């Protein structure tokens, strides 16, 4: 109880301190409440899926490392783990699933055979938990992706197989969107790339373009499904060239009225992903952001508050684009408690967003327009030690999730009573 009293007192002090620099903390909290994260189901089982119950391993340039005990082996385990994680994350969020997470009831259903019915369980679960779903085609971890190519493969039958898969996934996405009365975001990432010097990259890219044209020629209402395409720089096994590179997808997305998906790990390590937003937001109505943390490469580490994350969130808020940039988490760590990994990343993303919402933006913009660069820099520097955490604690309190470090022991309790018993 004294904890709660202290939080209220600290919040009052923080509210006044922010008011003095022209920031309304109540407004920031209200806005934060309305911003959903799309939380990735694949952190819970190391991108395994349920095609072959419990034995799936990610393939296609993604390295999931670690073997921490207690991973979810069934769809019920995965859902109850997600429920646990969600109970520790303030706000109302979305759940992002991949095609390999369908409920196939032990049947061999290949990727070109999946149907909306395989996802009915997810739809029902989401509904009863007040969640919305997003969807992803899965073009990896399958023998027909063994060459490293899918939609761009030189073999027409391979391309056709994957075209059929993505078409079915979009149909499933639109079915989900209709069922939940809210557009489902369908994201497409493909592993296609080549390990070493390739003479005819042009052909591969032309083949990818042709496959995409076939896929997106099917038109759905944007109230049901919104499509995004995810570009990449390189992967393990695609060091020489990635077919769906940034230069490939940016014009493709613009010309075909799709969203671009920017994964924070998919660029050169010194490139600023934040800097791209103000450029792309002039041309795209909406953008998808895969919130991730690369260490030296696209390593998909658990998201933490670092400069990259803060810069991205600041840019979204400074561009007044909180309703135009869809935030989706994308990381996977199998070496630590998986539920803990979900919660660290989600809470950190929200906290970085809150920090950005607590900037005195009009003051900063006015300094800038009047060439008052000393004041701009000084204020930005002072902001770093403003009491944003008191606002965060208050937010957690009002959203009825554990405050401060209390969520850590919640995870340990669940670990001892549930995941370690698997
Ligand atoms: C891979 C992409 C992709 C995947 C998920 C599982 O580099 O980031 O988004 O991580 O679809
Ligand atoms: Zn991604």
Is residue 70 pLDDT above 90, yes or no? yes
* Mutation pick for ligand 1 pocket among 41, 238, 330, 334 (CB with most ligand atoms within 8 Å): 330
Mean pLDDT across the chain? 96
* Mutation pick for ligand 1 pocket among 289, 290, 299, 329 (CB with most ligand atoms within 8 Å): 290
pLDDT of 62 reads 79
**Mean pLDDT, to the nearest integer, of 220-232?**
98
d(CA 341, CA 331): 9
330 lines ligand 1 (CB under 6 A): yes
Known catalytic membership, residue 186: no
422 CB-near residues (< 8 Å, 6+ apart): 69, 70, 71, 73, 77
Using pLDDT thresholds of 50, 70 and 90, give the confidence band for residue 54: very low
Alpha helices in 67-200 (DSSP H): 75-86, 120-128, 156-180
Span from the CA of 345 to the centroid of ligand 2 (angstroms): 14
The residue with tokens 């029902």 is 124
Known catalytic membership, residue 263: yes
Q: Identify the three-state secondary structure at position 411.
A: helix
Known catalytic membership, residue 266: yes
For 393-403, the pLDDT digits (tens) are: 999 999 999 99
136 lines ligand 1 (CB under 6 A): yes
290 lines ligand 1 (CB under 6 A): yes
Span from the CA of 58 to the centroid of ligand 1 (angstroms): 10
153 vs 57: which has the higher pLDDT? 153
230 lines ligand 1 (CB under 6 A): yes
Using pLDDT thresholds of 50, 70 and 90, give the confidence band for residue 274: very high
**Mean pLDDT, to the nearest integer, of 70-88?**
97
Would you say 262 and 287 are in contact if contact means Cβ atoms under 8 Å apart? yes
263 lines ligand 1 (CB under 6 A): yes
d(CA 21, CA 237): 51
Would you say 318 and 358 are in contact if contact means Cβ atoms under 8 Å apart? no
**Nearest CA to 82 among 373, 324, 420, 419?**
419
Is residue 260 pLDDT above 90, yes or no? yes
d(CA 225, CA 23): 36
**Mean pLDDT, to the nearest integer, of 360-386?**
98
**Nearest CA to 6 among 408, 374, 394?**
394
**Mean pLDDT, to the nearest integer, of 326-337?**
98
Using pLDDT thresholds of 50, 70 and 90, give the confidence band for residue 119: very high
Query: What's the predicted TM-score (pTM) here?
Result: 0.97
Span from the CA of 230 to the centroid of ligand 1 (angstroms): 8
Span from the CA of 309 to the centroid of ligand 1 (angstroms): 18
Is residue 421 pLDDT above 60, yes or no? yes
Neighbour-count burial for 22-47, b at 16+ CB within 10 Å, e otherwise: ebebeebbebbeebbbbbbbbbbbbb
pLDDT of 2 reads 62
**Mean pLDDT, to the nearest integer, of 331-338?**
97
d(CA 277, CA 325): 9
Phi, psi of 135 (to 5 degrees): -140, 150
For ligand 1, atom 5: residue with the closest CA: 330
Using pLDDT thresholds of 50, 70 and 90, give the confidence band for residue 58: confident
Is residue 255 pLDDT above 90, yes or no? yes
Known catalytic membership, residue 300: yes
Burial of 227 from C-beta contacts in 10 A (0-12 / 13-18 / 19+): buried
Give the least confident one: 14-18, 199-203, 234-238. 234-238
Span from the CA of 391 to the centroid of ligand 2 (angstroms): 30
**Mean pLDDT, to the nearest integer, of 254-274?**
97
* Mutation pick for ligand 1 pocket among 97, 230, 326 (CB with most ligand atoms within 8 Å): 230
**Mean pLDDT, to the nearest integer, of 56-64?**
76
**Nearest CA to 59 among 237, 195, 303?**
237
Known catalytic membership, residue 290: yes
**Nearest CA to 133 among 74, 183, 77, 92?**
183
Is residue 415 pLDDT above 80, yes or no? yes
Is residue 55 pLDDT above 70, yes or no? no
pLDDT of 173 reads 98
Name 226's bridge partners.
Answer: 185
Known catalytic membership, residue 333: no
Known catalytic membership, residue 330: yes
Would you say 127 and 158 are in contact if contact means Cβ atoms under 8 Å apart? no
pLDDT of 1 reads 55
Span from the CA of 290 to the centroid of ligand 2 (angstroms): 5
């Amino acid at each position: 109880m004294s904890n709660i009293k202290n939080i209220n007192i600290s919040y009052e002090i923080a509210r006044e301190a922010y008011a003095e620099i022209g920031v309304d903390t109540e407004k920031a909290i209200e806005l934060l409440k309305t911003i959903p994260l799309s939380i990735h189901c694949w952190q819970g089982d190391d991108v395994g899926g349920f095609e072959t119950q419990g034995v799936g391993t990610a393939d296609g340039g993604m390295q999931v490392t670690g073997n921490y005990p207690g991973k979810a082996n069934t769809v019920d385990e995965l859902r109850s783990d997600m429920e646990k994680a969600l109970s520790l994350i303030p706000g109302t969020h979305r759940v992002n699933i991949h095609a390999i997470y369908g409920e196939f009831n032990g049947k061999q259903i290949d990727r070109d055979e999946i149907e909306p019915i395989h996802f009915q369980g997810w739809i029902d679960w989401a509904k009863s938990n007040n969640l919305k779903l997003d969807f992803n085609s899965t073009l990896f971890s399958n023998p027909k992706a063994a060459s490293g190519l899918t939609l761009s493969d030189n073999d027409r039958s391979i391309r056709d197989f994957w075209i059929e898969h993505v078409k079915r996934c979009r149909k499933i996405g639109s079915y989900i969107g209709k069922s939940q009365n809210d557009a489902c975001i369908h994201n497409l990432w493909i592993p296609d790339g080549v390990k070493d010097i390739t003479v005819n990259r042009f052909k591969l890219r032309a083949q990818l373009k042709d496959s995409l044209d076939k896929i997106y020629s099917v038109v759905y209402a944007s109230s049901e499904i919104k499509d995004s395409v995810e570009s990449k720089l390189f992967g393990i096994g695609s060091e020489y060239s990635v077919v769906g590179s940034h230069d490939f997808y940016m014009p493709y997305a613009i010309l075909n009225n799709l969203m671009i998906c920017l994964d924070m790990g998919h660029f050169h390590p010194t490139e600023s992903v934040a800097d791209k937003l103000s450029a792309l937001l002039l041309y795209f109505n909406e953008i998808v952001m895969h919130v991730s943390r690369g260490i030296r490469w696209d390593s998909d580490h658990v998201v933490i508050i670092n400069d990259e994350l803060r810069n991205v969130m600041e840019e979204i808020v400074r561009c007044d684009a909180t309703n135009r940039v869809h935030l989706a988490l994308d990381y996977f760590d199998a070496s630590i408690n998986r539920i803990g990994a979900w919660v660290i990343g989600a809470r950190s993303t929200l906290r970085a967003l809150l920090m950005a919402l607590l900037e005195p933006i009009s003051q900063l913009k006015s300094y800038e327009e009047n060439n008052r660069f000393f004041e701009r820099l000084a204020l930005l520097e002072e902001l770093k030690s403003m009491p944003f955490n008191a606002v965060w604690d208050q937010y957690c309190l009002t959203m009825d999730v554990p405050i401060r470090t209390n969520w850590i022991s919640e995870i340990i309790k669940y670990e001892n009573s549930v995941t370690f018993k698997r």
